[in-house]
A = this chain, B = another copy of it.
């Protein structure tokens, strides 16, 4: 099982947290991990990793998000994108179970009633692959219509802990699924 950690201390997200060994530097975790914390989000263009977004000049801004940073070692970028998509969908499932309606997952983006609920990107470091998923908690002042956990009264701490746990279980389940099938001709 990958290691998970929710840090109750608030911490802004600037994009520079999406780097190799953030979990090791911050929490002392060695190995695959999924960690989370709550904080405002402001990612300048120079820190953005999605170059299509950079070309569109679309910087990222949110007054309060719950941030997930996932790191897997020995994983190629395409495989990490697949894990990212699963994380987004586990997030969608969890929101639905919490009573959020009109929820849509498109690629790695979540929408609630047509409003953007999250940002998400997967990339590579020299030694690992990484995901950042940010889910809005509050949404005042965002440049596009957005939805946040606070609209449903969902506590980000509880939400984060549950999503971390589900992601870790799903990854373990994926590992097991690849270890219990015989080959075919």
State the A residues within 8 Å of B (CB).
18-21, 24-25, 28, 30-32, 49-52, 55, 73-74, 76-86, 89, 93, 105, 107-108, 121-128, 130, 170, 173-185
Contact = CB atoms under 8 A, between A and B. Distances in A.
A180 B85 contact: no
A121 to B, nearest CB: 6
Assembly stoichiometry (copies): 6
Nearest to A55: B28
Given A51-B180, A124-B126, 13 more contacts: A19-B184, A21-B180, A24-B180, A28-B55, A52-B180, A73-B78, A78-B79, A78-B178, A82-B86, A89-B89, A107-B177, A123-B184, A124-B127
A107 to B, nearest CB: 5
